[in-house]
Chains A and B, each alone.
Chain A
Amino acid sequence: MDLLEAILNTSLRLMVPLLLAALGELIAERAGVLNIGLEGMITAGAFSAYAAVMLGWGWPAAIIAALVIGAAVAAVMAIGAVWMGGNQILVGFALFILVPGIANFLYVQIGWTDGSPALNTFAVPLLSEIPVFGPALFEQTVFFYLAALLAAAVWFLFARTRAGVVVTATGHSPVSVNNRGSSSRRVRTYALLACGALAGIAGAAMSLGSVGSYVPNIVGGRGLIVIAIVILGRWTVPGAVAGALLIAVLDSLQLNLAEQSGIPLQLFSTLPWLVVIAMLVVSARLRSNVPRTLAQ
């Protein structure tokens, strides 16, 4: 029972950054932008949140800094891929290389070595007393509640609002959006900025929430895992939640089980990637609501 509780708890904790980033990527891809640069945006958020804490701004300001810097990286992507008509995939890949490079450079060159104190968890009274599920669901850092709130908000955006419909329409047919008098470029830019902001918060959730510090290559390819999560989730919010949870459970199995089972740690770390490949293969068979102009 202890093990189950531990796995559940770590899974939900590890899910938070994945879910936040997946929500962002979902918005961008719905608008027709395959954002390979997501990794860079998460890294930007992770580093700027850490930098803000080291500069003594306090963590609310750190989250806002992560949000702004993440969106700034997304603005580079928007200028390059949407407004200048560059190759979406290459611009994204450039950010994938560039932003972690800048973050690592500044981290080493400035020479901060201290960690920030880890964020306190916030227990919801009464509800956190529930056995097994209570601590996992109601005794988490602020990022967990933020992610849950934002997931609901993004679901509402696409299911119930006009703006959500316009974003989806842009992904399927930018020409008809333009004909209707809106600007598909502007919609894609806003979608990318939202994506960058969410990815920035995801980065803050990694550096402040999980690790308590920035370390080089903190994101470690999770940006790409998130893209696979969005694909498997078939570009829906519930799908993204389920995908993020699946990867998080695999990660937490690695943390919790590797010690006890005979399977070496290194082989466990290939598991998410194998699942990602399997996800891509399976989702290719299912694909129906893929944004029709994705990556064009």
Chain B
Amino acid sequence: MTVLTLRAADRPERLRGLVSGLLALGIAVVVVLAIVGALLVAVDVDPLLAAQALWNGAFGTTRSVGETLVRATPLLLIAITLIPSLRAGLYNIGAPGQMGFGALAATVIALQGAALPSVVLVPLCAIGGCVAGMAAAFVPGVLKAKFHANEIITTLAVNFIAVAVLGYLLNGALQSDFANLPQSDTLPESSGLPILLTDTRAHLGLLLALLAVPMLWAADRSRVGYRLRVFGANASLAKQAGVRPARYTIGLMTLGGAGAGLAGWMQVAALDHRLYPGVADPVGYAGLFVALLGALHPLGTLIAAVALGALLHGGDSLQVGAGVTPEIVQVLLGLILLAYAVRATRSAATARATKRKEGRSWTFSKRS
């Protein structure tokens, strides 16, 4: 039933998904701001002053707009590659770990290939980062498909393992001779990415991330995209129709690591020019939020990425502007996710049983 109606209901369903996603964003913003405001008042900070500092930090000058875009870039990339797996009910929350491994691979390649010309080295680093990120997601994918190991716990475990591995390498083999801190040598100039907008740090990666949006849109309309939706809506039916669940699970999880791996590469190649243990901190879990807040829709994701990019960057300038620690942004993110989570349906089975939002059920199916 569901499968047959999927295609017919496709277009209006998608639009409705976008509208309801935007509506959710609006409601979430109001409720969340009220709670955050109360928290700020509790520690004697003027919420309006903080809001003003946040806005100025995010959009005040050309430079800050650029910084917002810099933050939005990895968020968008991660979110776009996570969306297919989220639609199938796989929660890959290993983006920080996959970013870490991606950054590690890119750093090693850049340092080893310093003599190579830029045209060769940049793509090489990108591919290395991407593959490393995918490998870090492939392992939990295999564990999920073959051993039914809960992917939330395994991907999180990989995050902690990544931090440990980076800490180990940066205190030993990769540590710069000129630093007491755990950080690598500076990456060669030839591995850097060209700047896209003058006077900012917005780099070529932004273009890559923007390119991913229509790619997802096109993939949704392809044969594989259709099969994926069938798989997400009803895995056992898909199995009877010749879709192999194990292969799809592994494929989707691995794809989810690609964006994070690329984001890790961009972080070291375009922005920091060196590797350090907290390389994934600026982005962390926020890529997953972007995908969810964008209602798993390509366009909604783009809007959510810019909004969260502004929030993350504006949050950093709060310390200077209003004397508020950046931790408030983590509170903000958590509240947003909470506001969102309580209205997400529990599982495909529940949604079908109650005949509620039938077409949407594939969006948040979670098989136990």
Contact = CB atoms under 8 A, between A and B. Distances in A.
Interface of A: 36, 76, 79-81, 84-91, 93-95, 97-102, 104-106, 108-110, 216, 221, 224, 227-228, 231, 264, 266-267, 269-270, 273-274, 276-277, 280-281, 284-285, 293-296
Interface string B53-95: 0000000000000000000000000000000000000010100
Contact of A281 (B147, B292, B331): B147
B160 A90 contact: no
Contacts of B15: none
B161 A280 contact: no
Contacts of B149: 277, 280-281, 284
Nearest to B166: A266
A109 B346 CA distance: 36
Q: Nearest 5 A-B pairs (CB), nearest first?
A: A98-B334, A101-B330, A90-B341, A86-B342, A266-B168
Contacts of A267: 164-165, 168
17 contacts: A76-B338, A93-B337, A94-B338, A98-B337, A101-B331, A102-B334, A105-B325, A105-B328, A110-B43, A267-B165, A270-B160, A270-B161, A273-B161, A280-B149, A281-B143, A284-B147, A296-B350
Contacts of A106: 43
A88 B368 CA distance: 12
B362 interface: no
A292 to B, nearest CB: 8
Interface stretch (B114-122, B150-158, B240-248, B265-273): B150-158
A87 B153 contact: no
Interface of B: 39, 43, 45, 91, 93, 143, 147-150, 152-154, 156-158, 160-161, 164-165, 167-168, 171-172, 285, 292, 324-325, 327-331, 333-335, 337-338, 340-347, 349-350, 364, 366, 368
B286 to A, nearest CB: 9
A125 B333 CA distance: 51
Given A108-B327, A277-B154, A270 B165 contact: yes
Contact of A89 (B161, B350, B366): B366
A36 B341 CA distance: 13
Given A89-B366, A281-B143, A276 B157 contact: yes
| Most-contacted residue by chain A among B158, B167, B327 (CB, 10 A) | B327
B91 A294 contact: no
Determine chain B's interface SS by DSSP, over half rule: helix
Given A105-B39, A108-B325, A266-B165, A90 B143 contact: no
A91 B341 contact: yes
Of B152, B165, B347, chain A has the most CB atoms within 10 Å of the CB of B152
Contacts of B43: 106, 109-110
B138 to A, nearest CB: 14
B351 to A, nearest CB: 10
A224 B341 contact: no
Contacts of A93: 91, 93, 152, 337, 341
Given A264-B171, A266-B164, A295-B366, 10 more contacts: A36-B152, A80-B341, A86-B342, A90-B341, A93-B341, A108-B327, A228-B153, A270-B165, A277-B154, A296-B347
B172 to A, nearest CB: 7
Given A101-B331, A224-B153, A227-B153, A87 B160 contact: no
A227 B150 CA distance: 11
A280 to B, nearest CB: 4
Contacts of B340: 90, 94
Given A91-B341, A95-B338, A276-B153, A105 B327 contact: yes
Contacts of A98: 330-331, 333-335, 337-338
Contacts of B285: 97
Contacts of A81: 341-342
